[in-house]
Structure 1
Amino acid sequence: MKRYILTGTPGSGKTTILRRLAALGYATVDEAATEVIAVEQARGVDEPWTRPSFIDKIVALQRRRQLQPVTAGPPAQFFDRSPVCAHVLSTWLGHPVPPALSAEIERITRDEVYDRDVFFVRNLGFCEPTEARRISFEDSLEFERLHERTYQEFGFRLIDVPAAPVPERVAAVTSRLAPAEP
């Protein structure tokens, strides 16, 4: 099964695209950072991203999810973000890249866990804040550029998914999928 990454700036519509892909029958994997933030905030930690263990928790959850068996369906699985995104986040937050993250990026690149073509979901021209997303639109644009550079540095090819109505964005993704082998 091919594993594809959806990435981009916060609030760009990755999760919406992921939900539509799931409705089409594709296997999907939700973003880990959002879940880690929600769990920590439920425990009373208002800004879990300030803690050194934050990135390690994301990486551990991403790995568990990536290693879960996939049920039958189309021969493609979509991930809302990847360990490369965790690397970007670590850099953005000013945290050192933890050894577990370095090892995970080594594993996913060595073993070609994800397809080298990454769907880069472009910003929508705004960024709505949430409890997990506390970033200005201006900062989100810099975060987008950092994602772009980092993915390219790790040898991934970016496939642009421009701002457009959701059905067009989903079609931009599905039209680029490699045909299934007989």
Structure 2
Amino acid sequence: MKRYILTGAPGAGKTSILRQLQGQGFDIVDEAATAVITREQAEGDAEPWTQAAFVEKVVALQRRRQMQSAASDVTLQIYDRSPICTHALSTYLGRPVPETLSAEIDRITRERVYEQQVFFIRNIGFCRPTDARRISFQEALAFERIHEQSYRQFGYVLVDVPADDVATRVAMIADTISQLT
């Protein structure tokens, strides 16, 4: 199975792009961090990313989703973020990388779980805060740089998806995937 990662700065338009790709028939695996935040907020924790176990919860959900999707009969999937993004998140939060995350990165590297080409969605010049994304545009830019560094550190090749309208970005990604497969 071919698994491509789509990543980038918070608020860069990843979700809009992914929904359009899904509408074109691509199999999408949703972002784990947002799911963890939404679940924890529903349980009364307004800022779950401040909890020590937050990164481990994200890693556990990413692994569970990846393992469940491995049983699928589809031949190609697009992931909204990956454990490498969680590495960037841990770095951004100023926390040491937990052993569970290091082990997961070792596993995905050893097993070559994801394709080496990663679609890096560039920021669109602003970042709208949401309940799950309470980050300024300047903070999003810093997070974007950390993401780039993390992916390069682990040997991934970034496919730059510049700021543009959603349809153009979707077409670029779909075209690139068809050339790579």
Which interval holds the TM-score relative to the shorter structure?
A: over 0.9
Give the 3-state SS of the residue equivalent to 1:6 in structure 2. strand
Shift of 1:95: 1.6
1:70 pairs with 2:105: no
Pair 1:175-2:175 in alignment: yes
TM-score (norm 1): 0.95
1:30–1:145 distance in 2 versus 1, CA, 3 Å: same
**Secondary structure, aligned partner of 1:113:** coil
CA contact (8 A) 1:27 1:70 kept: no
SS of equivalent residue, structure 2 residue 55: helix
C-alpha RMSD of matched pairs (Å): 1.3
Give the Cα separation in 1 of the matches to 2:62 and 2:129: 23
Stretches of structure 1 that go unaligned for 5 or more consecutive residues are: none
Letter of the aligned partner of 1:109 in structure 2?
Answer: T
More helix by share: 2
Return the alpha-carbon distance in structure 2 between the equivalents of residues 39 and 118 of structure 1: 28
- Taking the aligned partners of 2:102 and 2:178, their CA distance within structure 1 comes to 29
Give structure 2 stretches of 5+ with no counterpart: none
Distance 1:98 1:66 in 2: 19
TM-score calculated relative to the size of structure 2? 0.95
Hey, which bits of structure 1, 4+ residues long, moved more than 3 A?
Answer: 178-181
Identity between Structure 1 and Structure 2 (%): 59
Q: Deviations for 1:83-117, whole angstroms, at most 9, x for unmatched residues? A: 00001101111121111100000011111100000
Q: Confirm whether residue 141 of structure 1 aligns to residue 141 of structure 2.
A: yes
Task: Tell me how far 1:138 sits from its aligned partner.
Answer: 0.8
